Chains A and B, each alone.
Chain A
Amino acid sequence: MLILTALGALGGLTVVLALLLIIAYKKLQVKEDPRIDIVEEMLPHANCGACGYPGCRPFAEALVREEALPGKCTVSSDEGRQQIAAFLGVDVGASEKQVARLACGGGINVARNRARYQGLQSCEAASLVSGGGKECFWGCLGLGDCVDACDFDAIKLNAFHLPVINEDKCTACGDCVVACPKDLLSLHPVSHRLWINCKNLEAGDEILEECKVACTACGRCAMDAPDQMIVMKENLPVIDYRNYQDTTKPMERCPTGAIVYLHPQKGKITGPKARPVIRTSARTDAPT
């Protein structure tokens, strides 16, 4: 008898609460434009922030409100963007896949350490301690803050402790750019294939003692570049990407390989005159 009462009471309570929930769901529902849900479904759900909005749902809301164009989503494929544009009846908008690029080639096989750093294994922490201990003050410290910052698994350290960016996985969200204390990472359109792989502001052949692939500011790339595409500023060549021409001519006389061409299939190519790398392990004895 008692059991039946208990069952009945609990069962009745369940029914009452369920009814309350149903009523609440119906009455308190927020009326939204139903298109937002559909557009959100079409987005890649990466929540990376590359579009400039704090997530895919706010971006969907902005799309429906016609504040943004589908082209902003660099993570979607071309068809995805077309699909959204077609659904909403708007233009796709200009977009080109952007990726993060590293402006340093100084792995431990080519770049020397001046002092051995002991402490927190983080680039940010190391750069606060006398710059990090690398001979080249501007060079990559190889402790992986950018790898930690990437949510998309697009950056990995190679065998020489240099970050390598997987252009397919990179969504150009910008987290790695913020993470690098030496400001070596930046976002660029994929089509800009000619790239200056160094940020050393010193000039002269003595720099090669610091790093074998550093830019010695010899200026040959600037001389050979068509239409003044490359200018030397503060001992470093700067490519003017506004009048960019896809050519490998400036690379042909580079003696160190500081200027590279990022070929979509072959990867990083250096010029024919660039000296090959001759050390396979880092020497850490400091010069006097």
Chain B
Amino acid sequence: MFRKTLEIGTSPHIISGNSTDTIMRNVVYALLPVAAYAVYVFGLAALLLLITALGACLLTEYMLNRWAGNPSPLNDWSVTITGLLYGLTLPPHLPLWMVFLGGVFGVAFGKFIFGGLGYNVFNPALVGRAFIQAAFPVAITTWMTPFTADRFAHIPSSTLTLPFLEPVYDITSGATPLALMKFEHHTTDVYQLVMGMTSGSTGETSALLIVLGGLYLIARRMMDWRIPVALLGAVYILSTFFHFIDPTRYPDGLFMLFSGGLMLGAIFMATDMVASPITHAGAALYGVLIGIMVYVIRVWGGLPEGVMYAILFGNAVSPHIDNFIRPRVYGTGKKRSLS
């Protein structure tokens, strides 16, 4: 009757269409417009930066996992996301050797030593960036002017600096809107921020494309919308409140929302599923905490940009949030009594 044997599997015998690698791949698709626009704005420097970042992360993940005995480490696309995001947070003309080192560090110490995918406490892209911030503080705060005429023909000298040598910058350096705000109290038009016409890290300039990418993921149910909403909401509410108190000292809500890496961080970094809490209520709390930290660091901290540290802080707190905020089990708690 049969050619082949029957199979016996464990129930359930039908499964939904979701798959981890599909989800990760879709996040990569959502990031591609942002990456493409970044190359458009900053030219060859950005292209080389993204390729190096991606390459460093992929290579590290592959080598470390093969050494650990994992046969197919790149199957889930999670490290692709890490590579892209890590590249998008760096200044466009950062020396490539620094980019490479940061990528290796981020994947090795932000992901591999914790146990790989699913076990990392922190977002590996941010760990990499934190390393660069700590090791090369000057280089990471030197920004490139956008839309320079020769950006597709000329690679900045800083990008191709030889390993372990200090970079020498061309005159194409400019300040970010946040730095302008913090150190020179100079505001930038919100329209410019949204459309990506300002200087900044590679991926943070076009808030519009980032939001579109986020909406795509939310529509496909691959992202918890509560985290970005809570995060951005907290930042907006806090900044509007303080702006109302003293408009000259505190920038308004919209400026805060669209400047710097907040959009990219809120939509793509804070929503890293492994590093965020596992209940919806916990995720909302996590978003609010990060939002508060962002505002505090930006306004009262020593740096003009606080998203990275705020998110790392949120990642550290997320396991504790999970311990305290648990779903209510059927048959326990207040609904026990007869109605």
Contacts and interface: CB of A to CB of B under 8 A. Distances in A.
A–B contact (CB under 8 angstroms)? yes
B332 interface: no
B5 interface: yes
Interface in B2-34: 2-10
Interface of A: 113-120, 125, 129-130, 133, 284-286, 288
Contact of B5 (A113, A119, A129): A113
A284 B9 contact: no
A114 B5 contact: yes
B6 A286 contact: yes
5 contacts: A115-B5, A117-B8, A118-B7, A129-B10, A133-B8
Contacts of A284: 4-5
A118 B10 contact: yes
A142 to B, nearest CB: 15
B134 interface: no
B296 to A, nearest CB: 34
Contact of A116 (B1, B3, B5, B10): B5
A115 B2 contact: no
Contacts of B5: 113-116, 284-286
A115 B1 CA distance: 14
Contacts of B1: 288
A285 B3 contact: yes
Nearest to B13: A118
Nearest to A125: B10
A285 B10 CA distance: 21
B81 to A, nearest CB: 29
A117 B6 CA distance: 9
Contacts of B3: 285
Contacts of B7: 115-118
B9 A119 contact: yes
B240 to A, nearest CB: 48
B10 A114 contact: no
Contacts of A118: 7-10
Interface core residue of B2, B3, B4, B6 (most chain A CB under 10 Å): B6
Given A125-B10, A129-B8, 5 more contacts: A114-B5, A114-B6, A116-B5, A285-B5, A286-B5
B2 A116 contact: no
Nearest to B9: A118
Which residue among B5, B6, B7 has the maximum number of chain A CB atoms within 10 Å of its CB? B5
A120 B2 CA distance: 26
Contacts of A129: 8-10
A129 B2 CA distance: 21
CB-based closest 5 A-B pairs: A119-B10, A118-B9, A115-B6, A288-B1, A115-B8
B198 to A, nearest CB: 49
Contacts of A120: 10
Contacts of A117: 7-9
Interface string B50-85: 000000000000000000000000000000000000
A125 B9 CA distance: 11
B10 A286 contact: no
A17 to B, nearest CB: 32
B7 to A, nearest CB: 5
Nearest to B10: A119
B22 to A, nearest CB: 21
Contact of B8 (A130, A285, A288): A130
A129 B8 CA distance: 7
B6 A285 contact: no
Contacts of A114: 5-6
B2 A288 contact: yes
Contacts of A288: 1-2
Contacts of B6: 114-116, 286
Contacts of A113: 5
Interface in B294-311: none
A234 to B, nearest CB: 27
Contacts of A119: 9-10
Contacts of B9: 117-119, 129
Nearest to B4: A285
A285 B6 CA distance: 9
B8 to A, nearest CB: 5
A204 to B, nearest CB: 23
A113 B6 CA distance: 10
Nearest to B2: A286
A113 B8 CA distance: 11
A34 to B, nearest CB: 45
B3 to A, nearest CB: 7
A114 B2 CA distance: 12
B6 to A, nearest CB: 4
A84 B2 CA distance: 65
A130 to B, nearest CB: 5
A133 B5 CA distance: 10
A116 B8 CA distance: 6
A221 to B, nearest CB: 33
B71 to A, nearest CB: 16
Most buried by A among B1, B4, B7, B8: B8
A93 B292 CA distance: 71
Contacts of A130: 8
